[in-house]
Amino acid sequence: MKGLIIKDLKLILQNKFIIILMVLFSILGLIFDMDSDFMVAYFTICCTGLAISTCGYDEKNNTVSYLMTMPVSRREYVVEKYFFTSVCGFIGYFISVLIICINSFVFKKSPFEFTSLSFGIFLFLLPSLMIPLNIKFGTTKGRVVSLAVAGIISFIIAALVPPLIMMTKIENVEIVDDVTIAITQVEIGPKSILISAGIVVILLAIYFISMLLSMRIIKHKSF
Amino acid sequence: MLEVKNVVKKYKNFRLNISMEVPSGVITGLLGANGAGKSTTFKTILGLAEPDEGEIIIDGKKIGDFTNKDKAKIGCVMTDSFLPEILKVKEIKGILKASYDTFDEEFFDKKIAQHDISPDKRINELSGGMRAKIKMITALSHDSKLLVLDEPTAGLDVVSREEILAELREYMEKDEERSIVISSHISSDIEKLCDDIYVINNGEVILHDDTDRLLFEYASLKVLDEDFEKLDKQYIIAHRKESYGYECLTDKKDYYLENYPSMVVEKMNLDELMLILYKGERL
């Protein structure tokens, strides 16, 4: 596992341009008080994406195949990919939150936007979607399939949400409104905390199901 | 050390059906044309492809039951696969050091210096020869008991090939428990290095014998058309039609020398032997 982490760390350090760009955005974010939604989304997606890009390097020289001949089990390879991606994504998320906190509480620029924190869903969603697809189809096909999956999910949401809202309104159930409020409202109340916690639990469940799926895919894969 | 017992691996247009044994202290060669099944055999040995039938036992343990510690005892070189080539040699060393408890850093440093490989160079900046050497040094650097080498000398000049073969001889001299299974298109490399050789074709072993026997007891018989029918074929393995008559492959050269004194009996190298096995009709 330690060897895999070192490998992935060395690999993401190859993307010097993206890392320099992120440092630049951090400085710009502090100077110009950039939009907090953009900051959190950008840093989280960028760091998670950088970590997921190591799958591409692994594929390029058939490195996965070579790694499987080393003292690394297939299960460990999957666990490391999720662990590494999450840690990288969390570092990006933490840096961006730190920048908007400094802007809000130290420099007293714009008020702290709690809604920006919701972009942390990328920490769970990106690896959950991309890692199993990369393992199953490889990075090129995986990217195409992930776009297709994202399209299908968007279509389902677009098709299901309006009737769901209508239905909840008819039955006088306010859950959809509560979720919307939990995501969008600035004030933190017990209801919004509960719903946010519910969302985190669902995201964690998706994350672990995805990890189990990846383990299943790699278990029977021929290299 | 290595037992491949009735292993069957099925693909859409290919079926591997192979049994082989590599005892401790022995270097075994695998010869075969492109697509004969050499790489598939290596992949099943390394646990990269799960066999549909049969079993692979290394050092008394089934490959399916291997722990990471067991895997560390196997070193490998594969033609199309290695650690990311965008990384520098010293970064590769860091990965190996963190992965293998038995990694010999001093050996690694000594060998890269000996072969003039700069630790600051990326793998993809190295020449083909250097790249092959770094793959070999990697396989040798963690005190493995079994080396599985798929075409380690492919595309190399004679000097680089000889240096790699020298490394393998040095590896075998350290310990009598060590074994190597190696494939190569360059039959002279196999000839010089291996104790025994398996020839495979269409996923099956078509010949297995000691290298010395293959080189000194096997021979090519040049038989005229009119003599072919009368020829005692009990020691003929394969034959093929030629302009003068038939060329026959025998594993009992002396028998034909004694019983057919007028017959042309020629020693063969492995390429010639492979050719008659592949192109000829087997008996």
Phi, psi of B49 (to 5 degrees): -130, 125
- Cβ within 8 Å, pair B48-A69: yes
A130 closest CA partner among A112, A150, A101, A110: A150
Residues of A in contact with B87 (CB under 8 A): 7, 10-11
Residues of A in contact with B100 (CB under 8 A): 3, 70-71
Q: Does B80 touch chain A (CB under 8 A)?
A: yes
Confidence of residue A223 (pLDDT cuts 50, 70, 90): confident
Residue B21 pLDDT > 80, yes or no? yes
| Mean pLDDT, rounded, of chain A | 81
What's the pLDDT at A183? 52
Residue A148 pLDDT > 80, yes or no? no
C-alpha to C-alpha distance for B198 and B204, rounded to whole angstroms: 10
The token pair that represents A206 in the structure block: 């998706």
Could you tell me which chain A residue has the CA closest to the CA of B101?
A: A71
Confidence of residue A63 (pLDDT cuts 50, 70, 90): very high
Chain A and chain B share a number of CB contacts under 8 A equal to: 88
C-alpha to C-alpha distance for A118 and A182, rounded to whole angstroms: 10
pLDDT top residue among A158 and B33: B33
Query: Which pLDDT tens digit goes with each residue over B203-254?
Result: 999 999 999 999 889 999 998 888 888 888 889 999 998 888 899 999 998 8
Residue A210 pLDDT > 80, yes or no? yes
- Cβ within 8 Å, pair A7-B84: yes
- Cβ within 8 Å, pair A71-B78: no
Buried/exposed code over B130-140 (b: 16+ C-beta within 10 A; e: otherwise): bbbbbbbbbbb
Query: Which pLDDT tens digit goes with each residue over B49-64?
Result: 889 999 999 988 998 8
Residue A38 pLDDT > 70, yes or no? yes
B280 closest CA partner among B228, B217, B216, B211: B228
C-alpha to C-alpha distance for A57 and A8, rounded to whole angstroms: 9
What radius of gyration do chain B's Cα atoms show? Answer: 21
What's the pLDDT at A175? 54
A77 closest CA partner among B71, B237, B9, B120: B71
The token pair that represents A51 in the structure block: 């970590």
Across the range B96-111, mean pLDDT stands at 94
Q: Does B25 touch chain A (CB under 8 A)?
A: no
Q: What is the DSSP string of B146-181?
A: EEEEESTTTT--HHHHHHHHHHHHHHHHT-TT-EEE
DSSP state of B123: G
Confidence of residue B80 (pLDDT cuts 50, 70, 90): confident
pLDDT top residue among A146 and B179: B179
- Number of C-beta neighbours around residue B227 at 10 A: 15
Confidence of residue A81 (pLDDT cuts 50, 70, 90): very high
Q: Of A92-106, A174-188, B87-101, which gets the smallest average pLDDT?
A: A174-188
Could you tell me which chain A residue has the CA closest to the CA of B138?
A: A70
Query: Which pLDDT tens digit goes with each residue over B181-208?
Result: 999 888 888 988 999 999 998 899 999 9
Map out the domains of chain B with their CATH numbers.
Answer: 2-212 (3.40.50.300), 217-282 (no CATH)
Residue A22 domain boundaries: 2-219
What's the pLDDT at B55? 92
Q: Do A58 and A187 form a contact (C-beta atoms < 8 A)?
A: no
- Cβ within 8 Å, pair B81-A68: no
To which H or E segment does residue A57 belong? helix A54-60
To which H or E segment does residue A208 belong? helix A190-219
C-alpha to C-alpha distance for A194 and B140, rounded to whole angstroms: 57
Confidence of residue A153 (pLDDT cuts 50, 70, 90): low
What's the pLDDT at A180? 55
Confidence of residue A96 (pLDDT cuts 50, 70, 90): confident
C-alpha to C-alpha distance for A14 and A18, rounded to whole angstroms: 9
Of B47, B74, B82, which is closest to A66 when you measure between CB atoms?
A: B82
The nearest CA of chain B is from the CA of A55 a distance in Å of 11
What's the pLDDT at A157? 65
What's the pLDDT at B221? 92
What's the pLDDT at B54? 92
Q: Do A181 and A188 form a contact (C-beta atoms < 8 A)?
A: no
Q: Of A42-51, A100-109, B147-156, B215-224, which gets the smallest average pLDDT?
A: A100-109
The count of structural domains within chain A is: 1
Residues of B in contact with A68 (CB under 8 A): 46-48
Query: Which pLDDT tens digit goes with each residue over A168-192?
Result: 555 555 555 555 555 555 556 777 7
Residue A110 pLDDT > 60, yes or no? yes
Residue to mutate among A53, A66, A68, with most B CBs inside 10 A, is: A66
Sign of CA dihedral B131, B135, B138, B143: negative
What's the pLDDT at A177? 56
